[in-house]
Structure 1
Amino acid sequence: MFSDDDAAALYDLLNPWDPGRWPADAYYDGLVMAADTVLDVGCGTGAMLHRAREHGHTGRLVGLDPDRAALGRARLRTDVEWVEGTAADARWQGEFDLVTMVSHAFQCLVTDDDLRASLAAIHTALRPGGRFAFETRHPRARAWEEWNPANASEVVDATGRVLRVWYEVEAVVGDVVTFTGTTADDDGTVLRVDRTGLRFLDAVTLDAFLGDAGFAIEARYGDWHGGPVTDSSREIVTVARRG
């Protein structure tokens, strides 16, 4: 059996938070370290906030996530606030300078209702003038076409076991891609299959949702070095400000 706790540990192995290696991590690390109060929505195992505290952040850091197993790993560090719940569950009012959704967590907001409720809660959680920073995959890059067993990742877990992880698309309906993630032993024995849906919004549709929620676009990038969004961009990186 490959438990939820095992899956959370595997996530950290496959996705180590390392600003020195990954430009996306460096981008968010700079924003977090410059803000006094930070809410990370979809914080997962808490790696970003762990690092911020380890590197001298002295303000308030809060992580929010519905995954209990991931939060179990996050809570190994007790000098950060950890809350179980979704973006739409947030009930803070004017308490944060910065809200983040990193590692494409924003794309988990699949329905219009969930997106509107989540943006409204994030807007309320921010102080006037506070910023919401997140990224989505640019739909024109069609990232899901690379999600197949031929592009499997391989990792050695803490016990020395070799694991293989791959993704396979089940359906593309409108702007929502449904796919499975499979974890297997190196001999091919399947240990776990998870199903996920992600929404790929274009910039125009995204900005309409943000505007309806009371946000103004402060910055928009097509990569992690400040380049513009173009048809060949793989990312839509957004910083939106609460009015």
Structure 2
Amino acid sequence: MTDRLYSDPDLVQFYDIENIGGDDFNYCVGFAEDARSVLDLGCGTGQLAAALSHGRSVTGVDPASPMLDVGRSRPGGDKVDWIEGDARTVRLGRRFDLVLLTGHAFQVFLTPEDQSAVLRTIAEHLAPDGLFIFDSRNPVANEWQEWTPRRSERIVMHPSLGAVKSWNDFECDAVTGIVTYSTFYEIPGGDKILGAESKIAFPAKEDLARMLNEAGLLVEQWLGNWHGESYVDSAPEIIPIGRLR
């Protein structure tokens, strides 16, 4: 599950530059206000976990050790319990007031079996009155159509490398719906291009609803974006919020 985009330190150094804060970060900070304990599955470089660590117990789980290394070194990182683990199989022997899985991390699990395993992990770690929240891109929005080299080309300002040209490309499997996307960084002053290929799934809302129910999870609200608006069929996001059934 740890492709080079998340496991190669040369690529990990760009992650925070391209993924600073955002609407999901802001929403989850507010959503966690009353939680005394938080489990951040697929925590990545730990931006959210570290931000939530003041005044509560926070555990961050991720399979990529270079991402966790970044988390440990960031302000507030010393207050987080960082665990290298797989969201499908990790069992911590405790329950949390809030379990979250953001940054579309759920989509790296490509099969219904793996997706169901992640949902069972959420259920296994929820306190009786705890809440869960996670996000997945709505397949009807066809967001991957924007991931062409022409549409995605951008300049990333790296603190030591300067202006780095970056772009994406993709292929979509019409049978499985799995999108294979590539990420590239052209390092200035030479011919070096860093690149990685990743695969993500786009499960439909009805499939998510079925798997959530089978995992023993009750969805109390479906959001369609990180501004808190209710889900509609054309929404860009599928964001279930709920608790144990």
Task: Please give the TM-score of this superposition, normalised by the length of structure 1.
Answer: 0.90
How far apart, in 1, do the equivalents of 2:140 and 2:23 lie? 21
How far apart, in 2, do the equivalents of 1:231 and 1:190 lie? 43
Matched residue type, 1:191? I
Residue 174 of structure 1 deviates from its aligned partner by: 2.4
Residue equivalent to 1:205: 207
Residue 167 of structure 1 deviates from its aligned partner by: 1.5
User: Any unmatched runs of 5+ in structure 2?
Assistant: none
How far apart, in 1, do the equivalents of 2:227 and 2:46 lie? 24
1:126-177 CA distances to partner (integer Å, 9 max, x unpaired)? 1123221011111110000000111222112121432122211123242311
Give the alignment of 1:20-99 within 5 angstroms.
22-53=22-53, 57-76=54-73, 77-99=77-99
Equivalent residue of 2:107, what SS? helix
Equivalent residue of 2:79, what SS? coil
Matched residue type, 1:123? A
Identify the range of structure 1 (74-83 vs 162-171) with the bigger mean alpha-carbon deviation: 162-171
Identity between Structure 1 and Structure 2 (%):
32
Residues 169 and 30 of structure 1, relative CA distance in 2, 3 Å threshold: same
Equivalent residue of 2:20, what SS? coil
Residues 129 and 149 of structure 1, relative CA distance in 2, 3 Å threshold: same
Matched residue type, 1:89? T
Residue 89 of structure 1 deviates from its aligned partner by: 2.5
How far apart, in 2, do the equivalents of 1:39 and 1:207 lie? 22
How far apart, in 1, do the equivalents of 2:116 and 2:211 lie? 7
Matched residue type, 1:159? S
Residues 188 and 14 of structure 1, relative CA distance in 2, 3 Å threshold: farther
Matched residue type, 1:226? G
Give the alignment of 1:153-232 within 5 angstroms.
153-172=154-173, 173-185=175-187, 189-232=191-234
Identify the range of structure 1 (143-152 vs 175-184) with the bigger mean alpha-carbon deviation: 175-184
Residue 93 of structure 1 deviates from its aligned partner by: 3.7
Work out whether residues 93 and 126 of structure 1, in 8 Å CA contact, stay in contact via their aligned partners in 2: no
Residues 94 and 50 of structure 1, relative CA distance in 2, 3 Å threshold: closer
Work out whether residues 90 and 122 of structure 1, in 8 Å CA contact, stay in contact via their aligned partners in 2: no
User: Any unmatched runs of 5+ in structure 1?
Assistant: none
Residue 218 of structure 1 deviates from its aligned partner by: 1.2
- Across the two proteins, how many residue pairs are aligned to each other? 235
Residue 79 of structure 1 deviates from its aligned partner by: 1.2
How far apart, in 2, do the equivalents of 1:117 and 1:197 lie? 18
Matched residue type, 1:164? K
